[in-house]
A = this chain, B = another copy of it.
Amino acid sequence: MSQNSFETLAHPAWLPERVWEHLGRRSITLISNSTSDPVLKTVQRELLNATQRWGGTIREAGPADITFELGAEPFISSDKYTNLDPATAHESFEVTAPGNAAPTALHVRATSPIGLLYGLHHLVRFGDRAFSHPPKNVPGLLGIHAPQQPVRMLNHWDNMTDHPVMGTVERGYAGDSIFWHNATLRSDLSRAREYARLLGSLGINRISVNNVNVHEVEARLITDGVPHLRALAEIFRAHGVQIFASVSFAAPISVGGLETADPLDAQVRTWWAQIADNIWAHIPDFGGFVVKADSEGQPGPFAYGRDHADGANMLAAAIAPHGGELFWRAFVYEHRQDWRDRRTDRARAAYDHFAPLDGQFADNVIVQVKHGPLDFQPREPISPVLAAMPHTRLGIEMQVTQEYTGQQKHVCYLGPMWFEILNFQPWGDAVTLADIPAGHGPGGQMAGLIAVSNIGTDKFWTGHPLAQANLYAYGRLAWNTRADATELLREWITLTLGPGDFTDLEQMMAQSWRTYEDYTAPLGVGFMVQPGHHYGPAVEGYEYSPWGTYHFADRHGIGVDRTIATGTGYAGQYPAPWRDIYESEETCPDELLLFFHHVPWQHQLHSGKSVAQHIYDTHFRGVEAVADMIATWQNLTASVAAENAEFAQRVWDLLQEQLRSAIEWRDQINTYVWRMSGIADAQNRTIY
């Protein structure tokens, strides 16, 4: 691949031409007064392409198989409309079956072009099912469709230069950045355009375009780089996606030449205001900023004796006049911890830093909280911060890029994990975690979901072709967190791989996160990974490190005592009933036992097995499941390869690596437990 152009066509992901057929061969009418809106133009272009390709027609007016209507009026079924939140109403659409045309004629209506685009993709996803039955008999087809989360965002951890350790995409496993190359915007932005279209089809409405770790070149994105941001905004605007920049809190010094970045300093405030004025002058619909401050070495307000609210509100004030939003990350902890100090608990850090600031953040600040208290492990409890700040707009941050979940070399479909997280009930009642940013939490504050993207210049976008399903599922869950993760997987498979029997693939992928959990760090203990790159097992890799990630295994037992009674007190950061459930070894769920408790190797789980035996069993089982995946894929290869031999081969090759890696995980963890505990495997399998 040459440096600035993409010589191979990217894989179409879930939007191959085929998926447009059922629309493209029909008669379609698009009713709208507007002509110049870029999103409406996207709708027009998609319809034109589809009908040209598949022989359908676009009519100026009159009866048609499908009518798309952009109207100023509220939705027809106005009783439901009153329940739509203003924050998401403009992104909503309604599908009706008027019945006065053909029995299957459909009418899609929205009050804004983006609603119409989402309605269009709603029909794309249904495929021919939308027309092969009476519409009212197709579950989920008709009615008003509104996104649950106002914010449906992706963060790109893309560097503008090739970082010597992190590369062009930090924690990226799919090639280089599609945006940046050699410290500037790529001249060939074709992949960005295709990506924008893919995101629009899912309902993603915000992206940040550079790494939250802001290096020297990227710090100037808000000054020298405004033309780049403007070019990207132009591309993404057509798909309803706003552009954000990650900024360095120290930019007043490093970029502006001031002597301080103190958020209460008048010069600093003025500097940021001028920065904002200039950006919005060039990009009137610019989104705002993302900030990682006082975190893992990034600068922040602590240097000036200010707190995170001071820091965030100063930036928020600069962008508020333009309607900008500020995403302020809560991923703050002591990353130079002393492993000897067992009182300091990294899991406590975000709560300890942020919960006392509840209610102090400006209206246009969204505090962006990782879903778990540590860092995107395959299994963590939810972050107690999310239940502790009712008067703050809280975004839930997730990670589509598979940093700790197989790095897009392992099949690990994260939909089920996210579903569990988003539907967790922090107070043990009907309110779910996702309800909080959706505005249905105790304080009614609205925000949404944010996730780290998993794409790059790789032909298949995501390195592992099946990792596309994670991006897909994230977008769809952000729209509706109650969507069944397996249903979403089925959607992705059908769109991407086409008709055929992919039941086995669906089962294999649906189970793959639990399989990954089986063969990696057990029972919620986390972080048994190779330091630095985080791929592959190293049981003691982080045990004596400064990163605050320990399991404290010894000859007697393993796990972190985070109880109120005898531990770090972290369990007490949860509201009831979870503080009590987690506090007790008896009630703590098995899968989080070692996250909350230090227990003997002989400790009996709810399953009746000892901790040691559980580890042996899950690790043998996990490897067997990967071997089964290989058999499954072998059976599927012919049907996949018919459409895309390279797709089939890539998955096949990576499955071999997954098996090798899973065996390594199994053997290292089992051997470690055996050496430590001396407990023999009840089934007498080989432990080295």
List residues of A whose CB falls within 8 A of some B CB. 164, 339-340, 342, 537-540, 544, 553-556, 664, 667-668, 671, 674-678, 688
Question: Which residues on the B side are within 8 Å of A675 (C-beta)?
Answer: 553-555
Is B538 in contact with A544, judged by CB distance below 8 angstroms?
A: yes
Is B555 in contact with A676, judged by CB distance below 8 angstroms?
A: yes
Query: Which residue of B is nearest A164, CB measured?
Result: B164
In the complex where A340-B688, A537-B544, A544-B538 touch, is A676 in contact with B678 (Cβ < 8 A)? Answer: no
Nearest Cβ on chain B to A141's Cβ, whole angstroms: 53
Is B676 in contact with A554, judged by CB distance below 8 angstroms?
A: yes
Nearest Cβ on chain B to A167's Cβ, whole angstroms: 12
Is B678 in contact with A554, judged by CB distance below 8 angstroms?
A: yes
Is B540 in contact with A667, judged by CB distance below 8 angstroms?
A: no
Instruction: State A367–B164 Cα separation when bound (angstroms).
Output: 38
Question: Which residues on the B side are within 8 Å of A676 (C-beta)?
Answer: 554-555, 676
Question: Which residues on the B side are within 8 Å of A538 (C-beta)?
Answer: 540, 544
Instruction: List 25 A–B pairs whose Cβ atoms lie within 8 Å, in order of A's numbering.
Output: A164-B164, A339-B688, A340-B667, A340-B671, A340-B688, A342-B688, A538-B540, A538-B544, A539-B540, A539-B544, A540-B540, A544-B664, A544-B668, A544-B671, A553-B675, A554-B674, A554-B675, A554-B676, A554-B678, A555-B555, A555-B675, A555-B676, A555-B677, A555-B678, A556-B678
Known: A538-B540, A554-B678. 6 other contacts (CB 8 A): A537-B544, A544-B671, A555-B555, A555-B675, A555-B678, A676-B676
Question: Which residues on the B side are within 8 Å of A677 (C-beta)?
Answer: 555
Nearest Cβ on chain B to A557's Cβ, whole angstroms: 10
Instruction: State A340–B663 Cα separation when bound (angstroms).
Output: 11
Nearest Cβ on chain B to A547's Cβ, whole angstroms: 14
Question: Which residues on the B side are within 8 Å of A544 (C-beta)?
Answer: 537-539, 664, 668, 671
Question: Which residues on the B side are within 8 Å of A164 (C-beta)?
Answer: 164
Question: Which residues on the B side are within 8 Å of A668 (C-beta)?
Answer: 544
Instruction: State A553–B553 Cα separation when bound (angstroms).
Output: 14
Question: Which residues on the B side are within 8 Å of A688 (C-beta)?
Answer: 339-340, 342
Question: Which residues on the B side are within 8 Å of A678 (C-beta)?
Answer: 554-556
Nearest Cβ on chain B to A164's Cβ, whole angstroms: 8
Nearest Cβ on chain B to A432's Cβ, whole angstroms: 40
Nearest Cβ on chain B to A434's Cβ, whole angstroms: 39
Question: Which residues on the B side are within 8 Å of A342 (C-beta)?
Answer: 688
Query: Which residue of B is nearest A668, CB measured?
Result: B544
Question: Which residues on the B side are within 8 Å of A537 (C-beta)?
Answer: 544
Query: Which residue of B is nearest A544, CB measured?
Result: B668
Nearest Cβ on chain B to A269's Cβ, whole angstroms: 41
Instruction: State A555–B677 Cα separation when bound (angstroms).
Output: 7
Query: Which residue of B is nearest A663, CB measured?
Result: B340
Nearest Cβ on chain B to A273's Cβ, whole angstroms: 43
Nearest Cβ on chain B to A195's Cβ, whole angstroms: 30
Instruction: State A555–B340 Cα separation when bound (angstroms).
Output: 21
Give the top 8 A-B pairs by smallest Cβ distance, nearest first: A554-B675, A340-B688, A555-B555, A540-B540, A544-B668, A555-B678, A555-B676, A340-B667
Nearest Cβ on chain B to A666's Cβ, whole angstroms: 11
Query: Which residue of B is nearest A601, CB measured?
Result: B555
Question: Which residues on the B side are within 8 Å of A555 (C-beta)?
Answer: 555, 675-678
Instruction: State A554–B544 Cα separation when bound (angstroms).
Output: 18
Query: Which residue of B is nearest A340, CB measured?
Result: B688
Nearest Cβ on chain B to A669's Cβ, whole angstroms: 10
Nearest Cβ on chain B to A151's Cβ, whole angstroms: 40
Question: Which residues on the B side are within 8 Å of A671 (C-beta)?
Answer: 340, 544
